[in-house]
Structure 1
Amino acid sequence: MNVMAKAEKKISSAFIYFFGSFGGILFGYDIGVMTGALPFLQADWHLENAASLVGWITSAVMFGAIFGGALAGQLSDKFGRRKMILMSAIVFMVFSVLSGVSPDMGEASAYYLIIVRMLLGLAVGAASALVPAYMSEMALAKARGRLSGLNQTMIVSGMLLSYVVDFLLKDLPGEWAWRLMLGLAAVPALILFLGVLRLPESPRFLLRKGDEAQARKVLSYIRKNPAEIDQELASIKETAKEERQANQKTSWSTLFSGKYRYLVIAGVGVAAFQQFQGANAIFYYIPLIVQKATGQAASSNLMWPIVQGVILVIGSLVYMWIADKFNRRTLLMVGGAVMGLSFILPAVINWMMPNMNPMTIVVFLCIYVAFYSFTWAPLTWVLVGEIFPLAIRGRASGLASSFNWIGSWLVGLIFPIMTASMPQEAVFAIFGIICILGVIFVKTCVPETRGHTLEEIEEQGTNRGRVKASNPEN
């Protein structure tokens, strides 16, 4: 017992941050890996003309994640954050390996891989919800504000890592290439499991279970000042009491009452628009997009995902630099406008000059990714974390996350179907119009949250609800 206590005391906040961040890398790797694997998988299983199956294979992970995040949130309240992260890592390892060893049984192989990737998605959704939550509960209060930007940087770093792995494996025989790309996702999952195995449980969870002595002990590993520990314990108790009272007084219908409706629509709407704007169509299908534009084989275009990954990482660092210098609404509207034009202009140019260079669309996609990376990508979750009042925060955040995953799944599913039935420029123009609608939505429906307390933001929603109640025709 003394050996365990001594080992636990060596756990530093840097170690906790590293493995919290590593969860983001794991999440990002699985988002990006199919980008390089898909061209080889299509050729190996002769799926070039099976747009629906390709869409389902790609989007199955996001479909599973819709349910994984919701289940993990409930189970973590019962079993603990740490145990559920460990369970998620195990599920991730098992189904990553099962993806890589998919049997070759004709069309049945595609259905096998879809089911396996849906189950893998349960772990992806769980990790995306649990790891940042655990990290924020362990972090110093003054460090929590930077977690959204840090987590986004780690996610896109994981995507970049998967693109590099895909590129390094591209010269293997086709069957081995895609199998190793998918199966190697088990490696970061194993690293996450071994790292989290050494971490203590969240003090917030321990207090909820009535184990104050253990919660104090855990805080003593990462807080040096006894007075600071006492203050944080008291703060956690008070917050937990407020949340219990809030949960007793609210239901799902409360989210859409006059007092909260404005803020719920704003937060959930931004989360949904982030995905329906089409970013994941680029991340999942960029080699196929280049193939359709140039006629070159998709498997020879795996440098383009790396270019996109580098842009995403740089953009996430730019966001961390500018996050507190500009209003949230300003960044979202500027980013959305440029993203929309980046999608619409290639269609306009192609209409005016039918013989335009086919790589023009790829250049505009890079501009889209650059602006997405430091606006809508990180700011969606910053805003969702700030905009919901305490009384509805749990349910509203869960609803926003679900709509985000639904959007991610639908874009991954329908993009290959759309490009099989219409020109790529027209498909991206549709996404461009959605981007412009997102700008209008932010302008008319989303309050500014930078520099405002949670109480001030809630008051904006209350005042808006009163105005709507007194002017129902509006």
Structure 2
Amino acid sequence: MNVMAKAEKKISSAFIYFFGSFGGILFGYDIGVMTGALPFLQADWHLENAASLVGWITSAVMFGAIFGGALAGQLSDKFGRRKMILMSAIVFVVFSVLSGVSPDMGEASAYYLIIVRMLLGLAVGAASALVPAYMSEMAPAKARGRLSGLNQTMIVSGMLLSYVVDFLLKDLPGEWAWRLMLGLAAVPALILFLGVLRLPESPRFLLRKGDEAQARKVLSYIRKNPAEIDQELASIKETAKEERQANQKTSWATLFSGKYRYLVIAGVGVAAFQQFQGANAIFYYIPLIVQKATGQAASSNLMWPIVQGVILVVGSLVYMWIADKFNRRTLLMVGGAVMGLSFILPAVINWMMPNMNPMTIVVFLCIYVAFYSFTWAPLTWVLVGEIFPLAIRGRASGLASSFNWIGSWLVGLIFPIMTASMPQEAVFAIFGIICILGVIFVKTCVPETRGHTLEEIEEQGTNHGRVKASNPEN
């Protein structure tokens, strides 16, 4: 027992935060890997004219993630964050390998891969829910903003990693290329599993299970002095008591009562807009977008995903630098406006100049990704984490996450169907209009949360509910 305790004492806070957030690598890798694998998969299985099947293969992970996040959240309250992250890593390894060894059985192969990727999506959704929860419970309050930025950086780094792997494997025979691209997702999942084996459980979960001694030991790894540990233990106990009381008094109907409706609509709306604005259409399909614009084979355009990945990583670092220097609403509105124009202007230019250089649309997509990377991408989850009052936080956060994954799934599913039936510029113009609607939504429906305590934000919602009740015509 003493030997084990000494071994645990060697765990550094850097190790805990690195592997605590490493699940973001898995999340990002599987978002990005299909971008490079799809052109080879289409050619190998002759799916060039099967837009709906292509959409389902690409979006199946997001469909599974809708359920994986909700399921993992509930199970982690019972079994612990650490154990559920380990389980997610195992599921990720198994179904990544099964994706790579998909049998070649004609059209039946596509349905096999769709099912396997749906099951893989359970792990992706679980990682997206468990990693932020674990990190927020391990991090000191003053570092939570930066560490939420670290999670975003891990996600986009995972996407960039997948793009680089796709590029390095592109010269293999087509059948081997896409299989290795999908199968190699098991490698970061295995690294995560081995790293998390050494991680401690969340002190909040340990206290909830009555193990105060172990919770104190875990906090001693990541806090500087005993007084800070005592203060945090007391704070966790008080918060856990308030949460138990809140959960006993609330139901799903509570979310849309007059007191909370304003804040729930704001948080869930921002989470939904983030996906319906079309970002994932770029991340999933950029080689096919370039192919349609230029006529060059998609498999020869795998440098463009790397360009997008580098922009995303740089943008996540920019966000960590500016996060607390500008209002949330300002960044969301500026970002959304530029994103919308980046989608709409190519359609306008193409209408005015039919001989427009086909790469113009790709340049505008890069501008879109740049502004998305340091505004809507990270700020959506910062705002969702801040805006929901304690009494409804669990249910409201789950609802926001579900709407976000539903949007991600639908964009991945319908984009190839839309581009098969209308000009590419028109499809992006539709997403551009949604971006502008998102700006209007933020302007009219979302309160500012920067610099406000959670109690002040809740009071804004309460006051807004009172105003609406006294002026129902508004």
**If the TM-score is normalised by the length of the shorter chain, which range does it land in?**
over 0.9
Q: Whole-Å Cα distance in 2 between the matches of residues 347 and 223 of structure 1?
A: 54
Tell me the distance in 2 between the aligned counterparts of 1:153 and 1:443: 27
The 10-residue stretch of structure 1 (112-121 or 463-472) with the greater mean CA deviation from structure 2 = 463-472
CA contact (8 A) 2:287 2:298 kept: yes
Deviation at 1:471, TM superposition (A): 1.3
Cα deviations by residue, 1:133-181 (Å, 9 ceiling, x for unpaired): 1122112222112122111111101100100000000000000000000
Question: How far apart, in 2, do the equivalents of 1:333 and 1:143 lie?
Answer: 26
Matches of 1:27 and 1:360, distance apart in 2: 30
Shift of 1:191: 0.2
Alpha-carbon distance, 1:219 to partner:
1.7
C-alpha distance in structure 2 between counterparts of 1:456 and 1:275, whole Å: 28
**CA displacement at 1:25 relative to structure 2:** 1.2
Structure 1 unpaired stretches of 5+: none
Q: What is the CA–CA distance in structure 1 between the aligned matches of 2:77 and 2:413, rounded to whole Å?
A: 32
Higher alpha-carbon deviation: 50-59 or 136-145:
136-145
Cα deviation per residue 1:271-324 (whole Å; 9 max; x = unaligned)? 000000000000000000000000000000000000000111111111111111
Please give the per-residue CA displacement for 1:183-211, whole angstroms capped at 9, x wherever unaligned. 00000000000000011111110110111
Alignment of 1:91-130 (within 5 A): 91-130=91-130
Structure 2: how far apart are the matches of 1:253 and 1:42?
45
Counterparts of 1:276 and 1:420 in 2: how far apart (Å)? 19
The CA RMSD over aligned residues, in Å, is 0.7
Is residue 139–residue 147 contact of structure 2 (8 Å, CA) maintained in 1?
Answer: no
Quick one: percent identity of the two aligned structures? Answer: 99
Q: Distance in 2 between matches of 1:357 and 1:465?
A: 51
CA deviations over 1:75-115 (Å, ceiling 9, x no partner):
00101111000000000000000000000000000000000
Q: How many residues align?
A: 474
Distance between the aligned counterparts of 1:264 and 1:140, measured in 2? 27
Q: Are the aligned partners of 2:62 and 2:408 in contact in 1 as well (CA < 8 Å)?
A: yes
TM-superposition CA deviations, 1:408-431 (whole Å, max 9, x none): 000000000000000000000000
- Higher mean alpha-carbon deviation, 312-321 vs 222-231, is at 222-231
TM-score by length of 2: 0.99
CA displacement, residues 22-47 of structure 1 (integer Å, 9 cap, x when unaligned): 11111111110000000000000000
SS of 1:258's partner is: coil
Residue matched to 1:329: 329
TM-score by length of 1: 0.99
Runs of 4+ aligned residues of structure 1 deviating over 3 Å after TM superposition are none
Q: Distance in 2 between matches of 1:46 and 1:17?
A: 44
How far apart, CA to CA, are the structure 1 residues paired with 2:425 and 2:464?
40
Residue 389 of structure 1: how far off its partner (Å): 0.6
Q: Secondary structure at the match of 1:292?
A: helix
- Determine helix, strand or coil for the equivalent of 1:341: helix
Q: How far is the alpha carbon of 1:21 from its aligned partner?
A: 2.6
Tell me if the contact between 1:19 and 1:196 (Cα under 8 Å) persists in the aligned partners: yes
Asked whether the equivalents of residues 13 and 139 of structure 1 are also in contact (C-alpha less than 8 Å), the reply is: no
The 2-side partners of 1:145 and 1:293 are apart by: 40
- 1:204-243 CA-to-partner distances (Å, cap 9, x unmatched) read 1011011112212222222341222111111110000000
Q: Which moved more, 1:410-419 or 1:313-322?
A: 313-322
Which runs of 5 or more residues in structure 2 are unaligned? none
